Structure 1
Amino acid sequence: MSKLRTFAAVLIAVALSAWNAAAIAQTDPLPSWNDGKSKQAILDFVAKVTREGGPDFVKPAERVATFDNDGTLWAEQPVYFQLLFAFDEVKRMVAEKPALKSNEPYRSVLARDLKALAAGGNKGLMQVMALTHSGMATDAFNASVDKWLTSARHPTKQRPYTEMVYQPQLELLTYLRANGFKTFIVSGGGVEFMRVFAEKAYGIPPEQVVGSSGVVKFRLDAGGKPELFKESKIEFVDDGPGKPVGINRFIGRRPILAFGNSDGDLQMLQYTTGGSGPRLALIVHHTDAEREWAYDRTSHIGKLDKALDEGKAKGWTIVDMKADWKTVFPAGR
């Protein structure tokens, strides 16, 4: 009988252990994050700002979290995805207007000759962006972006661009919103480009997307229908020092949490941590050449230099992609 009781006790202990492990897995809000300093910093911060009666409690209305997009919420190599969209749009437009293909910078774009395009300086790039991002109604532009996202594939990963989002960040966004945070994108990318996919990809509605913008004007089309027309003039650049300006203009509250990945996010991180009360600044450090890419100080895309040094000096949370993330991209999406 004693052996039977011992055996039963062992079975119960094993079952309880398995049940506890399953319960822990179910209650972990960030399952794609490895246990460590970065994950713990997030959990501790959320716990203290949501603890009513605690010294660091923050009212829900003031729980603003801002995220860069390129390199922070989705990948950005080998070039920004919006530029790849522009390249594909040039190809489509040249099919309609063959005379363009013999002219620069479109000839270089068609040949995917980035060196030749870069040699033309900002002028060539601005011509490409003007051709593909202006001279049309906003509804037409949105439709072209949506169609591209549905059909295009990343040049090396061969995944749809909407599957190049980061699974750990999707979990973080969900976790923050479940704890009363309002999540915003604050990115150097085009605001209208990002608004096409932000809600579906991240759960962030269009009105919570802040980005660079061109001049848009109201008019009546040839049939008398009211529309917004995109002109080839830059209105606002939401990058570097422009990010705090954009936050002030379009959000109206200083964030208590900000997440970036490059020197272009430095001023947003400075602005966030410069406020009173609890603050959390995070930086994605791209260290995973096998699952994604490894780059920082010398990269032509997403350069992380000054922000990395300042982040280390000020104790910001530096998220090491290789060490801190169990997975990078969502599985089966």
Structure 2
Amino acid sequence: MFRRLGLSVYPDSSVFEEDLAYITFAKSQGFERIFMSMLEVTQGKGVVAEKFSKLISAAKKLGYEVILDIAPNIFDELQISYDDLSFFAELGADGLRLDAGFDGNKEATLSFNPYGLIIELNMSNDVAYLDNILTYQANEPYIYGCHNFYPQEGSALPFDFFVSCSKRFKKHGIRTAAFVSSQVATGGPWDINDGLPTLELHRHLPVEVQAKHLFATGLIDDVIIGNAYASEAELEALGDINRYQIELTVDFLPSANPVEREIVLDNQHFRRGDITSQMVRSTQVRKDYKQENPLHDNQQIFQFGDVVVGNDDFGKYKNELQIVLEPHTDSRKNKVAQIQENELMLLDYIQPWTKFRFKQ
């Protein structure tokens, strides 16, 4: 399934012109979907309709898919019924995210709404919620899944629980989404905002590292910035990531020579299928690069995340690239770079035959 980037806006507590500038710049960076919160609306139906339809119309002209986040109290507030979704269709939305669930049959029925609105389900519960809905013969192409975000420090999902929840959706081929958190944005739905990630381990990481991790799991199709507004630098960094293979950011040693730098940066790498626990081996490059490679930085203990290249003493293995997984020494290898510390967790996802790249 193709992968997308998304962002969040909060029209009930923001200014239209600022929202428009934000989504316009994000579109230029490759963003494709918008999470638009309606959880905070307290004004009448007419005011809400005018405010949301104006922003949704602008987003649709830019080519965004727009999903509205709703809860049961919204229907009471706006005096509308779950049995008639025409209000949301008239706003121009593409779908509704149900913050709270029903009995399964209700969600299945909603997926056949006459307006073609997508029904997005809450993924952050490790129960057979989706299975129950599908048992009622839901309209599967119109079912998405999306995790929650968590404004309070320490309250977001632990990783193992996130994996278990996500697998329940991914096994059915349902489009999935999760949130990452800008490190500068302060906007959100509530008065507490310690960031808005799905995963607690992401809360204080650079936003592009969070996204790389979610995509690397293979469990998430859409990565959405939970808080607003992310900086232009963050939007650019997200737009620049490789959504379909792991791309590791490295810091080169000053002594790394031009051939070694080219081996690292200018090649499509893949891990050998017959793996070893000591290192990730990218062996094709040694066949393509026959140049001499003098010895340097080859006497230390190589550490987890070091990038090494075989030197002139390594015979047929000269110019083979390896990523160190277990500390070891081998004077036939030159240390040329280190993977940045906050991306070391991505090495867990380089399995037999996994394709990967590097960037400086």
TM-score by length of 1: 0.27
More helix, by proportion: 1
More strand, by proportion: 2
